Homo-oligomer: A and B are copies of this chain.
Amino acid sequence: MSHTLPGLLDTEAIRKDFPILHRTVHDGKPLVYLDNAASSQKPRQVLDAMSEYYERHHANVHRGVHVLAEEATALYEGARTKVASFVNAPSRDEVIFTKNASESLNLVANMLGWAEEPYRVDDRTEIVITEMEHHSNIVPWQFLAQRTGAKLKWFGLTDDGRLDLSNLDELITEHTKVVSFVLVSNVLGTHNPVEAIVRRAQQVGALVVIDASQAAPHMPLDVQALGADFVAFTGHKMCGPTGIGVLWGRQELLEDLPPFLGGGEMIETVTMSSSTYAPAPHKFEAGTPPIAEAVGLGAAVDYLTGIGMERIAAHEQAITRYALERLAEVPDLRIIGPVSSEDRGATVSFTLGDIHPHDVGQVLDEQGIAVRVGHHCARPVCLRYGIPATTRASFYLYSTPAEVDALVRGLEYVRGFFG
């Protein structure tokens, strides 16, 4: 039980930044928070940035000539610049703030539904996704397919929790208008091979959408290197606040594609009978944007960058490797997803004999250990592996080997309890 794995961050120092990690639950048990794939905790730096914003600078953005409006606008747009550089976007105007990753993905699906050629999705075209998508990257495409008559197709999964690319060329064809897939699965932990899919999509002229919700918080993300057309992620999983998501899109696409939500901020000029629209990103940001949330996300990005995304990835890699080793010792435990730490993120799903995940989660909780149980908004994955649900432990930059040990001990107790 080595607690000094190579590559670990100084979690003692890091945990000091996260107030919630010091609370106890159930009569004094220390909190072991292993539900980071659902949402991460927030460092004081992020909370302070938002408080400071509200206490000193709040006003509605744009359109204002007074000091507060200028300051709020500078802070909001400054956050856009930070996020753009976090994902290495060629231009800050390619970063759209949404309310969460789900809205980002719906935004793309809707743009393509209302687009002119060559982007338009209609009943002669096809949409390709995968069987390991989060519901937020399934349902918007089901809507689009239902509403346009387009055909929805998907990659299946291999028994060891990876994308089955064996029929790549039959799935992505001349009819394919868009391919949308998750970079890192929120259930299996699988890190998907981007290059093969992007190459094929580009061959047939399909747009590529990447759901990076479980990647952006955990590893360096470079939208240019990915080669995608759109990349979506969400603030609350990456030390940022709730209420904000991001859609990055290639500039020329954002120029050509139609707006989605209509309202204040997204227009150029309005008459009662028709309107013209502002250039991107504003075209896609109707109404008062999540101003304080952008400020918070900017602070989160600063925080993560301050530590270094490479180092965070290495830390999580070490923790995941250790967790997979330790979990292998628990009898009747079956990992759902890749069992090796290669090409995978810090999310580990499993079943424990016949014990229903609800019961596993409940008994772990009583010991202070927070995991998620259920289908994790990716029910097709459970169907694929013939299980009703999984128990999922997911790690982040503040997770420690001791927490892995606590989990393993907790699972032993669960087995005893229902044994």
Contact = CB atoms under 8 A, between A and B. Distances in A.
A165 interface: no
Interface in A104-128: 105-106, 114
A383 to B, nearest CB: 7
Place the interface of chain A in its size category.
35 or more
A102 B142 contact: no
A274 interface: yes
Contact of A99 (B41, B68, B241, B290): B290
A381 to B, nearest CB: 10
Contact of A135 (B54, B139, B267, B370): B267
Nearest to A359: B65
A58 B379 contact: no
B270 A135 contact: yes
A413 to B, nearest CB: 15
A327 interface: no
Interface string A65-106: 111110000000000000000000000000000111111011
A251 interface: no
A264 B42 contact: no
A286 B139 contact: yes
B23 A56 contact: yes
A103 B266 CA distance: 12
A416 to B, nearest CB: 19
A275 B138 contact: yes
A35 B56 contact: no
A55 B270 contact: no
A142 B275 contact: yes
Among the interface residues A26, A59, A66, A69, which one has the most CB atoms of the partner chain B within 10 A? Answer: A66
Nearest to A44: B55
A1 interface: no
B262 A106 contact: yes
15 contacts: A19-B55, A20-B56, A38-B63, A39-B288, A50-B50, A66-B364, A102-B286, A102-B287, A103-B261, A103-B286, A106-B261, A140-B263, A142-B262, A236-B291, A269-B379
